Structure 1
């Protein structure tokens, strides 16, 4: 009978520590960049929401031959599903039909 001699070699503790060190360094580099850009992402989302809401005001005006009296009217008629930006900022509608972010 022939015995197979297998030369199995696993990772050593030093190799595992080096891999963990590299992963940790990558996380330390990427996480601050993600959180730093989060506010930019939220503001761009709000800008896009305002433009979409402005388009819905125009659609309401075309359908009803008048401007909506309030944001709540747009929401109740089904033109908008929410009255705030994704970051939580509220929007308002002036008497000329212009959508703005409430500061």
Structure 2
């Protein structure tokens, strides 16, 4: 009655195979995630420019004048911040009231 002893656990080969599968999946996923982040930052900046342009128009309707700077919109509580979500600045031409995205 000599019973074979069953051992619990994973072998080294099984562990290596699992690590290889995980590393291949990471090589596929990580570059796609960074690409999506760049697209999201661009869309966020476009949305900020549109919001600021609308607030410049609202400022002109209420005061009769264009703001001299975008910071005047912050001071007048029209917007909380005048930068893109990724930290890029936004251009503003006070003579025309045109808001433009930065060239980074």
TM-score range, shorter chain: 0.7 to 0.9
Q: Write out the 4+ residue segments of structure 1 that deviate beyond 3 Å after TM superposition.
A: none
Give the secondary structure class of the aligned counterpart of 1:92: strand
Length-normalised TM-score, structure 2: 0.76
Distance 1:76 1:21 in 2: 55
Distance 1:54 1:80 in 2: 11
Which residue is equivalent to 2:92? 93
Length-normalised TM-score, structure 1: 0.77
> CA deviation digits over 1:44-79, x for unaligned, max 9?
111111011112112222332332121121111111
Structure 1 vs Structure 2 CA RMSD? 2.1
Give the secondary structure class of the aligned counterpart of 2:91: strand
Q: 5 Å matches for 1:1-103?
A: 9-94=8-93, 95-103=95-103
Unpaired runs of 5+ in structure 1? 1-6
Question: How many corresponding residue pairs?
Answer: 98
- Bigger drift between 25-34 and 75-84 goes to 75-84
